[in-house]
Structure 1
């Protein structure tokens, strides 16, 4: 493919149909609040996503949040998919296939409450990075937030030459007739052969071969965009801080609630060392050395405003939270850079019990602290942040905002469930409660269609699902082997439907997805 328009970006393979919760404004505002910073929030808000990929996240957030959305992805096929999905549920989101330069040249854009770019910064040229910063300078409101994720040093230092090898092989040895998957496999095989020849580089980097084997097992769409773009500008945290300065953007925190739980991230000597660093930017950069950070998810604000302790405490106590899975499904261990920790039953038991009460309905921190009265409110909050980090709990938006977007979520979810009749590409639905996406598998979406049609029993849901899958020549797999007969497939689907009915359905109802 010609590079006349794609600037070396790997456009021969479309991106995945994944969802990113970090782009959710509700989640972003909570991360700011957790660190004591104010954020903008209004029903007349405007949000922008730069480089939206297949557009799953931007469609979810355009449905589940008040306000309006604008986004661009300069790959036409991806912009077309995202725009068609938006049109099919009657969204007013404005989705373009503009380059960053073209988007910057527009004179019809509003001032945004938030601008988000996930998995974009590292994979574009320095010129495009400057255009992104200029776009934020012109179009982000004072007090608005910018989310950016990127690969970083020091964590990437050992593997960066390996990544460069993939890209160079594709650039200089690719065959004009080879498809994207063939080109990716050829580069991986070349790199594997090079490491087997025992270069000094391989002997200087521990576990490099294991890293390569791990990459080989990943989704080819992800590998294409992670490792095969011509541009790849890995930076230190402070490099990005400096790059954002012309847009008057202040770094405030990460979009990773687990980062607020120091014992999971730092050993005692590391905590002691960092406490001795006065400047917050230097302290954050030094922290990356202790955790060997390779990928950052950062939030910047244009004119960061700190809340008083009383203001932050009141806002946290008024924040609602919801459990996203049955308590027995929540892992009993959590892992961080400092190692693995067990969830203490005497703390997490009462918190999970309180979250489960009244059919999983959302509850404020004040309500949860009252229900788990044996615990200090700070312990309840830390437990919630660990559970949020594990994606077992989510912060919620206000009840007024939830009611305002319910109809839009219904429209999008109906369209997504319709698409599950033919494809398993999108396995997420929109929740007006969290303002974001909730993982719902294709089978579960088919069960929801059955429920929508008045079918009450799991056996009926399984029959509907099999009628669709069987007609398309698809079968289920159990213990690594495909199920041959219709009876076996229906029995397996019935088991799945029974589990769905007893566990997940009540949660989806609490999330106002059903």
Structure 2
């Protein structure tokens, strides 16, 4: 295959159909606000850009669920063709092209953007492309605009970095099959055999064998794109800061709300040490050593404005929040860099129950805070950070933006539910309330399809789903085993439909997904 257009990027198989909330402008603005930084307000005239959109799931959900217009590129034409189908279904009028970053930079018809985002792109493109990306941001990001970038980083990747090199070298020089998945399998087997021969390097990195075992369980298409590209530039945080400096970008914070909660990430000595580091860039780089950071999700701003404590509090109090899962399914544990931690149930459960009141309708933090008058503000702020970081709660966009997005979200969700007839590629639907994607597995999408077609009872949804599966010769897997009889499959679907109607459907209604 010629690599004239793909610049060494692995294009033999398509990328996975993932959704990434960090690209959602609503979520990005909340992350900035949580760290005390001013956030641009959404409006009809806003413009957003995504560089390297993969299968286009995130960009299309966001284009449907947010006001304004989207421009995005992915130089794989198969990805662009798929993404355009989704855009046509929603009616978002997003401009989705299959141009390289350099070709996009050369266009003279692009607007100034309120946000430019790239997720999982930076590591897998060349240093020359890093310069093109920085120049694109310099030319096209508005003052006050948001730039999101995620990438593999040191020091966390240091011990396992040689594994990627082994994969790439075997793919380049070894005797490899023609099929993409087979090439991945061959490289994995080669690496397993090498480690089994007990090289001295294992003495310096004894965890490498377990790391390889973990990698071997992952989706082969994902592994192809993660490890088998010609370019693989793992960098330190400060190196990326330097690379983006010509675009006048100020590092603001991470797009991970849990990073704002030191108690679950840093031991006391680490917290004490970092408090003594004045420079924010040095402090953040030092923090990566304490948490052994392997993957960063960074937000930059072109001209960051810090809010006063009082301003930040008022903006947070005016923000609406909504549950993204049934209240009784929100775990009372959270995982940070220090491991798993238990949440204080007498604080968290009443807050979750307050969010679940009135059929899970969204509520401002001001309204919620009124029910916890004795709670100190830092505690309330931490509860919000933890629950949003866990994904159990989501910030909402203004009601005017929500209303403007409803029709597009409804159209996109209908299209995705129709696709669920044939497979489980995309297991997310669009929420006009949060401006982002909500996890909805395949069978639940089929239940929604049955409901939209006039079937009112869960038993009818189950029958509808079973008729669809049976016609395609498909069977449900339960506890790792296929259910063979019609009675077993229908019974399982009926149970799932009943639980969906009772637990999940009210939440999806509150989110505006249905």
Q: Normalising TM by the smaller chain, what interval?
A: over 0.9
Deviation string, structure 1 residues 385-420 (Cα, Å, up to 9, x no partner) = 111111111111111111111111111111111111
TM-score, scaled to structure 1? 0.98
The answer to whether the 8 Å contact 1:70/1:93 transfers is yes
Q: Pairwise mapping of residues 7-156 of structure 1 onto structure 2 (< 5 A)?
A: 7-41=7-41, 42-156=43-157
Instruction: Tell me, in whole angstroms, the C-alpha distance in 1 between the residues paired with 2:137 and 2:9.
Output: 22
SS at match of 1:357: helix
Q: 8 Å contact 2:26–2:397 — kept in the other structure?
A: yes
Distance 2:82 2:388 in 1: 31
> Is residue 284 from structure 1 mapped to residue 252 from structure 2 by the alignment?
no
Q: Which residue is equivalent to 2:483?
A: 483
Distance, in Å, in 2 between the alignment partners of 1:105 and 1:162 is 37
Distance 2:328 2:210 in 1: 33
Corresponding residue for 1:171?
Answer: 172
* Matched residue, 1:335: 335
* 1:394 counterpart SS class: strand
> Which ranges of structure 2 fall in alignment gaps of 5 or more residues?
none
Is 1:461 aligned to 2:464, yes or no?
Answer: no
| 8 A contact 2:90–2:409 mirrored in 1 | no
**Alignment pair present for 1:440 and 2:458:** no
Structure 1 CA distance for aligned equivalents of residues 498 and 440 of structure 2: 15
Matched residues in 2 for 1:199 and 1:173: separation? 19
- CA offsets per residue over residues 311-365 of structure 1, 9 Å max, x none? 1111000001111112221112112112321111111111111111101111111
CA distance in 2, matches of 1:373, 1:455: 45
Query: What are the within-5 Å matches in structure 2 for residues 269-418 of structure 1?
Result: 269-418=269-418
Partner of 2:231, secondary structure, is coil
What do the CA deviations read for 1:104-150 (whole angstroms, capped 9, x no partner)? 01111100000000000010000011100000000000100100000
Contact kept, 8 Å, 1:123 with 1:231, in 2: the verdict is yes
C-alpha separation in 1, matches of 2:213 and 2:511 = 39
- Find the counterpart in structure 1 of residue 208 from structure 2: 208
Quick one: distance in 2 between partners of 1:236 and 1:223? 22
Matches of 1:84 and 1:355 in 2, distance apart? 36
**CA deviation after TM superposition for structure 1 residue 222, in Å:** 1.1
Compare 377-386 and 140-149 and name the one that shifted more: 377-386
Report how far residue 88 of structure 1 moved.
2.7
- Aligned counterpart, 1:185: 185
Alignment partner of 1:195 is 2:188: no
What is the CA–CA distance in structure 2 between the aligned matches of 1:189 and 1:259, rounded to whole Å?
Answer: 37
Q: Equivalent residue for 1:5?
A: 5
* More displaced 10-residue stretch of structure 1: 22-31 or 359-368: 359-368
Work out the CA distance in 1 between the residues paired with 2:417 and 2:66: 20
- What are the Cα deviations for residues 174-221 of structure 1, in whole angstroms up to 9, with x where unaligned? 54x520110000000000001111111122102211100000000111
Match runs of 1:421-436 below 5 Å: 421-436=421-436
SS in structure 2 of the partner of residue 143 of structure 1? strand
Instruction: Report the secondary structure of 2:360's partner residue.
Output: coil
Kindly report the root-mean-square deviation, in angstroms, between the aligned alpha carbons of the 2 structures.
1.0
3-state secondary structure, aligned to 1:359: helix
- Measure the CA separation in 1 of the matches of 2:175 and 2:465: 42
Residues 121 and 129, structure 1, Cα contact 8 Å, conserved in 2: yes
2:69–2:92 contact (8 Å) kept in structure 1? no
**1:501 matches 2:504:** no
Secondary structure, counterpart of 2:358 in structure 1: coil
1:174–1:183 Cα contact (<8 Å) kept: no
Partner-residue secondary structure (3-state), 1:253: strand
Counterpart in 1 of 2:262?
A: 262
The Cα shift of 1:374 comes to 4.1
Aligned-residue offset at 1:378: 2.6
Structure 1 residues 61-90: Cα deviation after superposition (integer angstroms, max 9, x where no partner): 000000000000001111111012212332
Q: Is the 8 A contact 2:320 2:365 kept in 1?
A: yes
Three-state SS of the structure 2 residue aligned to 1:508 is: helix
